[in-house]
Amino acid sequence: PLVPVTELLKKAEEGKYAVGAFNVNNMEIVQAIVAAAEAEKAPVIMQASQGAIKYAGIEYIYALANLAASKTSVPVALHLDHGTSFEQCMKCIRFGFTSVMIDGSKLPLQENIALTKKVIEVARATGVSVEAELGKIGGTEDDIHVDERDAFFTDPEEALTFVQQTGVDSLAIAIGTAHGQYKGVPKLDFARLEKIVGLVKIPIVLHGSSGVPDEAIQEAIGLGVRKVNIDTNIREAFTNACRQVVESNPKEIDPRKVLSPAREAATEVIRQKIRVFGSAGRA
């Protein structure tokens, strides 16, 4: 069965590593994540974004992840990524997701707190953990200048207030990462991360981690990041492999011939991430 995320992150804290949270959109990616987790003997989190829910539907995502979890001996959890409303979180909890994110980061602080609390109230009773976001992570297209950092990045004191007032299980923070492909090399605000970890005693989540150099990811984990989100690097590996098949063999019409190498390429990139996160051999 799908396992609670709380349990995985508690063990990650004890072992000082991070659990990879990989975005799922279809059967092949679900299979790639389990294959990678099995090969590396690692716990993993599968997560469904808004785009994944639109594309595949909650039912298919849940069924695929649940099947994957029931067929393997490594711990697999299922998480809602960037949940947009209380209702969506409830829907995922009813289906059997073992964790939800309520992303109130665009709201004023007090509204983000109120919304997060509302989700936690129900989630608690069902053993589902809740991730919230404080600060603006954004996309790589939103260029954040150094003088704007304080306005966008997570404020450590505010993070403490947020965690105390909500009782949230884990916190996604903005320290310079962005969703999607980076134009240059992202510069993370490690001093800010260190301050946050010093104040906030819950697992910290790093979003937008594709394209962040391995050393920077490891430094962030060394400072206390316990969940690392990866989507873009899987998309790149998957789609580039598809492209290679169709370009080198324009007459290919068998989707399985296109998707098998894609699934393998995704497995390989996920295995590499698991090793970087230090979660290999922890299952």
- Positions marked catalytic: 81
- Asked whether position 30 contacts ligand 13P by CB under 6 A, the answer is no
Of residues 47 through 66, those in contact with ligand G3H by CB under 6 A are 49-52
Q: How far is residue 113's CA from residue 52's CA, in Å, rounded to a whole number?
A: 26
- Asked whether position 32 contacts ligand G3H by CB under 6 A, the answer is no
Of residues 183 through 212, those in contact with Na ion by CB under 5 A are 208, 210-211
CA triple 54-170-279, angle to 5 deg = 85
Choose the contact partner of 119 out of ligand G3H, Zn ion, ligand 13P, none; CB within 5 to 8 A by kind.
none
Nearest to Na ion of 99, 210 (CB atom): 210
Residue 229 labelled as part of a binding site: yes
Residue 142 labelled as part of a binding site: no
- Asked whether position 230 contacts ligand 13P by CB under 6 A, the answer is yes
Closest C-alpha among 102, 131, 249 to residue 200: 131
Burial 159-185 (b: 16+ CB within 10 A, else e): bbbbbeebebbbbbbbbbbbbeeeeee
Burial 107-142 (b: 16+ CB within 10 A, else e): eeeeebbebbbbbbeebeeeebbbbbbbbbbbebee
To the nearest whole angstrom, how small is the minimum distance from the Cβ of residue 78 to Na ion? Answer: 22
Nearest to ligand G3H of 47, 66 (CB atom): 47
Residue 145 labelled as part of a binding site: no
The number of residues in the chain equals 283
Q: How far is residue 19's CA from residue 228's CA, in Å, rounded to a whole number?
A: 6
- Asked whether position 179 contacts ligand G3H by CB under 6 A, the answer is yes
Residue from the set 208, 227, 259, 267 that interacts with ligand 13P by CB under 6 A:
208
Nearest to ligand 13P of 223, 230 (CB atom): 230
Choose the contact partner of 222 out of Na ion, ligand 13P, Zn ion, none; CB within 5 to 8 A by kind.
none
CB-based contacts of 132, cutoff 8 Å, min separation 6: 101, 102, 103, 104, 112, 116, 162, 166, 168, 170, 171, 172
Max Cα–Cα distance, the chain, nearest Å: 60
To the nearest whole angstrom, how small is the minimum distance from the Cβ of residue 246 to ligand G3H? Answer: 23
Nearest to Zn ion of 189, 231 (CB atom): 231
Q: How far is residue 226's CA from residue 170's CA, in Å, rounded to a whole number?
A: 9
The pair of structure tokens assigned to 71 is 């067929």
Q: How far is residue 228's CA from residue 181's CA, in Å, rounded to a whole number?
A: 16
Nearest to ligand G3H of 50, 218 (CB atom): 50
Q: How many C-beta atoms lie closer than 10 Å to residue 278's C-beta?
A: 19
Q: Which residues bind ligand G3H (CB under 6 A)?
A: 23, 49-52, 81-82, 179, 231
Binding site per annotation, positions: 82, 103, 133, 179-180, 207-210, 229-232
Q: Which residues bind ligand 13P (CB under 6 A)?
A: 23, 81-82, 179-180, 207-210, 229-232
Binding site per annotation, positions for Zn(2+): 82, 103, 133, 179, 207
